[in-house]
Amino acid sequence: DAGITQSPRHKVTETGTPVTLRCHQTENHRYMYWYRQDPGHGLRLIHYSYGVKDTDKGEVSDGYSVSRSKTEDFLLTLESATSSQTSVYFCAIGARGQGLREQYFGPGTRLTVT
Amino acid sequence: QKEVEQDPGPLSVPEGAIVSLNCTYSNSAFQYFMWYRQYSRKGPELLMYTYSSGNKEDGRFTAQVDKSSKYISLFIRDSQPSDSATYLCAMFPSGTYKYIFGTGTRLKVLA
């Protein structure tokens, strides 16, 4: 998985609780992304980061926040989890030098909100 | 209408068949086109990418882009049971960092 780990790999949580997912990379890549994958929707971008403390929204950012205090870590926080946020979450990294053609994905976190 | 359309399948073929997987798109600004393979309960892995129009070949895989028709294809020759997976197309315009993915086509290659 190209030096990308995600934690936790599985989580069950209750509606209304905050949840933080972590993505860690050992590739020193500048760009990092958070996606969610749902049946019938494919992969949808939540937020992305183009450097330490530099982040921007994707197409489905409502209800999510991110932080990146170090190159290797990108955190995704669900401020108050809802059942509609039950999904599989993937982190990805991309290298500027390759013109961002290539993104490499982590193994995913399966989140269930009850 | 979604920016990228992809038939979800499933597509079942016998071993050794030639497989054709396709995506259509609506945004003429898309310049980079990628194909990812995703096995069940795994993250997507990059198979191939092409820039603008044309063909690209890598072993049993050929990626084809027809920008005039806004249509991209992935061909798999001599398909194997190990090719059974979901195949996702992805694309983005030059100068942005935001991929748009298709929903994926599930492929089953029968031994």
What is the rounded average pLDDT for all residues in chain A? 92
pLDDT score of A2: 63
Whole-angstrom Cα distance, residue B101 to residue B111? 30
CA atoms within 13 A on the CB side of B27: 18
What is the rounded average pLDDT for all residues in chain B? 92
pLDDT score of A1: 52
Whole-angstrom Cα distance, residue A21 to residue A34? 10
pLDDT score of B94: 73
DSSP-derived secondary structure for A10-40? EEEE-TT--EEEEEEESS--SEEEEEEEETT
Q: Which residues of B touch A90 (CB under 8 A)?
A: 43-44
Q: Which residues of A touch B33 (CB under 8 A)?
A: none
pLDDT value at B27 more than 80: yes
Distance from CA of A42 to the nearest CA of B (A): 4
DSSP-derived secondary structure for B55-82? EEEETTEEEEEETTTTEEEEEESS--GG
Whole-angstrom Cα distance, residue B13 to residue B11? 7
Burial class (CB in 10 A: 0-12, 13-18, 19+), A33: buried
CA atoms within 13 A on the CB side of A92: 30
Which has more pLDDT, B51 or A81? A81
pLDDT score of A96: 57
Which has more pLDDT, B60 or A95? B60
**Nearest Cβ partner of A43 from B32, B46, B101?**
B101
| Averaged pLDDT, B30-45 | 93
